Structure 1
Amino acid sequence: MDSTWLVLISLALGLAVGAGFVALLHVAERRGARAAEVVSPTIPDGIDQVLEALESAGVVLDPSHNVMKASPGALSMGLVWNGGLVHPELVELVDGVRRTGEAVSKELVITRGPFGDASMYLRVRLARLGTRFVLLLAEDRTETHRLDEVRRDFVANISHELKTPIASVSLLAEALDQAADEPEQVRRFANRLTTESGRLARITQEIIELSRLQAQDALATPRLVSVDAVVAAAVDQNRVVAESHDVTIVVGRRSRVEVYGDETLLVVAVHNLIANAVHYSSAGSHVGVGVKHFDGIVEIAVTDQGLGIPEEDIDRVFERFFRVDQARSRHTGGTGLGLSIVKHAVQNHGGDIRVWSQPGHGSTFTIRLPEAVQNVAGTHNAVEANGENVDTYPAG
């Protein structure tokens, strides 16, 4: 009997000890899970979807500044690399938000990526996300900053460009008054006055044209436009000037293609290219105007045999008021806005403009436009008809 009780007591003690160990294991497991949550906290639900939807950059950081999540924008802007923030300025802002708990907004100038040297203008906002995370949002304002600089430069340039003809008109008016009794002087000053007033009118007109092209509704009602008609009108506008410069304009075969757009704007664009080619061509040379079309693309090329453009200036020729040869441009009455107008007119029609040039051998400017859909099926017939004629406008 005594031995039986001893066995029962031993079993009871064994069960009690086992239950105690099991309970301790459960407690340890729960504590381990809580510790794991502290070490590797989870991001609140929905943050992944929000970051994916952001057009700007978004980054979520843990207490050790490790990047837990980053939007595609943050990666493309080079804010995140090797699991952390690239820029010390951003890390410092994160520290401040974590320390004070208050949201922060700031504008920064930083480099793009860990190894880049291009500057990037950012507007950033940081705030706590829950108790352990910090959310960083960044908006790239580099393009906005560039456009602000362009506007400032435009105002400065236009003030300078208008100042010269206005001052000339004023001085010539005074000279006319003083030379009232000298008919020869009056005629000379009157001719100068006409030249300067014409230059002032051209600058004003081109500024108005450029402003219209930059408006959102520049092509509010596009229509089918004959490219041959555009080229013919532009050539006709330059015929007299070409003859006076002893320059021959040679026009290629008719294309019989059409594009969607504004005929007046396209005539202005082609006219400006031809006018530039004539002004920069020497006496006895030729300016060629040709149209090609292939794979739904229409190309209008204007080629001259002039001085050409230095390689370092090719990327700048479409800037407002930029002139390759300042002295020659002023002598020929150039405003420096013509190519900028061409660029905006072509872009408004969904196309682009390209330039090839070699100093001493001339330049070729090529306008590329999408061909009108209605005409794509007739491309083969138009190509067959290309052999009809070649129009030339010889110098006077």
Structure 2
Amino acid sequence: MSRRRGAAAGAGVSRSDDVATDAGSGADPVSRTLPPGAGAVLSVLSSTTIVVDPSDLVLSASPSASAYGLVRRNVLVHDEIKRLVREVREQRVIREETLRIGRGLSEPGDDGEPLVMVVRVAPLDEHHVVILIQDRTHEQRVEQVRRDFVANVGHELKTPVGGLSLLAEAVLDAKDDPAAVERFASRMQVESRRLGRLVTDIVDLTRLQAADSLHEPRRVDIATVVREAVDSTAVAAESRDIAIDTVVEPGLTTFGDEDLLVTAVRNLVSNAVNYSEPGTRVAVRAARRGETVEVVVADHGRGIPLAEQDRIFERFYRIDPARSRATGGTGLGLAIVKHVCSTHGGTVSVWSQEGKGATFTIRLPLHTGPDDDGGEVDPEDDGSAESADLGTISRAARNPPTDARGRPEIPSTTSDQGARTA
């Protein structure tokens, strides 16, 4: 009997990737060792399932059990789960624990962190034990992000609020000194503007993350988006003697929310201005690439270290916190850019080397359908009149051409049709 049962179990495990769905079909000899009806029930469960016999041989296992590295051949190999099985056999109770489980050969997660699994073990009948496993790694990660966000918001709000409180006390103490009152009031304005920017960015980002889709999307003219984004940063650029060169291929449109797209491009241009050296240039280019619109913002700033580039789109992440606060940054600008692009079915990428500036590229789906007037956007208009100026844009996102000093080369703006210099 034990030899037949072992052979059956071995046969079942040799097909462990198929057992879960075939358990109730009668096609697999393993199903004959399970309690009546158990195979049919197990086959419809969304959880990872494992059934073991009194010898702890695996009779049935869903494909994910092997993928997670919990079952090898016909053996349950995870020590903590085996402990739970023993306790259930001895005590005839149902046990549930949350375990952190190392990844199996297929590494189903995104990184090297252990998987968070809710493991429930229960008697299936007098002889068999069933193990139900749910992967909660994603939910745990989302919850951790939420907690981090709340903590970061509290920390970021504490700084300007605390500053305003101290400055208000200073104003009261200096009420008989008009010059001191004026100085403290000026600083209060700075902190209040910073607080206002932070609250606005938090609200914008929260709204973007909560939205499954755009509200009343419309055809958006890319030239308008770029113009408004550049205009809003012109004063800051002029104060630092930074020229913004703009070239936009005519007739480019996408489908979405104009205000959100202006915010995304403005954030990139503002960052380029804030992190560029005085007297340099920032380039803003927009062009069609196949069925995609590319908006590229390049600067001659200090660049972004390679080790930091994977994190710059995280909320509240700052490479240089002191400089970011000095320039009025909230640490949310690039996170907002990322979410705006995602909401529009697009992407944002960065190329950068330390000392050679940074190039950010937004890619959005090209809109070639009827416009709001009932007209059509000409799909044949590829902006050929601008091709001489725009031919390097796609390369710029990956490996921009460099000048004699090895920094990204930003071509000067011409007066060609569709180009605008700010």
TM-score normalized with structure 1 length: 0.83
Secondary structure in 1 matching 2:161: helix
Give the match for residue 47 of structure 2.
Answer: 56
Give the match for residue 89 of structure 1.
Answer: 80
Question: Which residue among 282, 291, 298 is the counterpart of 1:287?
Answer: 282
Secondary structure in 2 matching 1:201: helix
Native 8 Å contact 1:272 1:342 kept in 2: yes
Give the match for residue 301 of structure 1.
Answer: 296
Give the match for residue 418 of structure 2.
Answer: 389
> Hey, what's the Cα distance between the residues in 2 that align with 1:230 and 1:131?
69
Give the match for residue 316 of structure 1.
Answer: 311
Give the match for residue 325 of structure 1.
Answer: 320
Q: In structure 2, what residue type is equivalent to 1:150? A: V
Distance 1:46 1:272, change over 3 A: farther
Secondary structure in 2 matching 1:381: coil
Q: In structure 2, what residue type is equivalent to 1:65? A: D
Question: Which residue among 323, 336, 343 is the counterpart of 2:338?
Answer: 343
1:66 aligns with 2:61: no
Q: Deviations over 1:237-260 (max 9, x none)?
A: 111111111111111232422222
Q: Deviations over 1:221-241 (max 9, x none)?
A: 222222222122111111111
1:261 aligns with 2:256: yes
Give the match for residue 245 of structure 1.
Answer: 240
1:112 aligns with 2:109: no
Secondary structure in 2 matching 1:209: helix
Q: If each structure's helix is expressed as a fraction of its own residues, which one has the higher value?
A: 1
> Hey, what's the Cα distance between the residues in 2 that align with 1:218 and 1:267?
18
> Hey, what's the Cα distance between the residues in 2 that align with 1:280 and 1:344?
22
Q: In structure 2, what residue type is equivalent to 1:383? A: G
Stretch of structure 1 that moved more, 215-224 or 44-53: 44-53
Question: Which residue among 146, 150, 153 is the counterpart of 1:151?
Answer: 146
Q: In structure 2, what residue type is equivalent to 1:332? A: T
Native 8 Å contact 2:311 2:317 kept in 1: yes
Secondary structure in 2 matching 1:214: helix
Q: Deviations over 1:5-33 (max 9, x none)?
A: xxxxxxxxxxxxxxxxxxxxxxxxxxx8x
Q: Deviations over 1:78-105 (max 9, x none)?
A: 3223332331111111222233333222
- C-alpha displacement of 1:114: 6.5
1:345-384 matched pairs, under 5 angstroms: 345-372=340-367, 374=369, 378-384=378-384
Distance 1:338 1:35, change over 3 A: closer
> Hey, what's the Cα distance between the residues in 2 that align with 1:290 and 1:69?
59
Give the match for residue 120 of structure 2.
Answer: 125
> Hey, what's the Cα distance between the residues in 2 that align with 1:256 and 1:81?
59
Native 8 Å contact 1:250 1:288 kept in 2: yes
Query: How many positions carry a matched residue from both structures?
Result: 361
> Hey, what's the Cα distance between the residues in 2 that align with 1:262 and 1:326?
31
1:198 aligns with 2:198: no
Distance 1:306 1:180, change over 3 A: same
Distance 1:258 1:114, change over 3 A: closer
Q: Deviations over 1:139-173 (max 9, x none)?
A: 11112212222222222222221122112212222
Q: In structure 1, what residue type is equivalent to 2:64? A: G
Structure 2, gaps ≥5 residues long:
9-31, 371-375, 388-416
Native 8 Å contact 1:351 1:368 kept in 2: yes
Stretch of structure 1 that moved more, 272-281 or 167-176: 167-176
1:142 aligns with 2:171: no
- C-alpha displacement of 1:39: 6.7
Give the match for residue 14 of structure 2.
Answer: none
> Hey, what's the Cα distance between the residues in 2 that align with 1:221 and 1:55?
36
- C-alpha displacement of 1:52: 5.8
- C-alpha displacement of 1:123: 0.7
Native 8 Å contact 1:212 1:218 kept in 2: no
Structure 1, gaps ≥5 residues long:
1-31
Question: Which residue among 160, 183, 190 is the counterpart of 1:188?
Answer: 183
Native 8 Å contact 2:95 2:121 kept in 1: yes
Distance 1:331 1:43, change over 3 A: same
Secondary structure in 2 matching 1:353: strand
> Hey, what's the Cα distance between the residues in 1 that align with 2:307 and 2:62?
38
Native 8 Å contact 2:51 2:130 kept in 1: yes
The alignment yields a C-alpha RMSD, in angstroms, of: 2.7
Question: Which residue among 204, 209, 212 is the counterpart of 2:207?
Answer: 212
Distance 1:273 1:53, change over 3 A: farther
> Hey, what's the Cα distance between the residues in 1 that align with 2:94 and 2:204?
46
Give the match for residue 66 of structure 2.
Answer: 75
Give the match for residue 91 of structure 2.
Answer: 100
Native 8 Å contact 2:312 2:318 kept in 1: yes
TM-score normalized with structure 2 length: 0.78
- C-alpha displacement of 1:371: 2.3
Q: Runs of 4+ in structure 1 displaced over 4 angstroms?
A: 44-55, 114-117
Distance 1:125 1:216, change over 3 A: farther
- C-alpha displacement of 1:216: 3.1
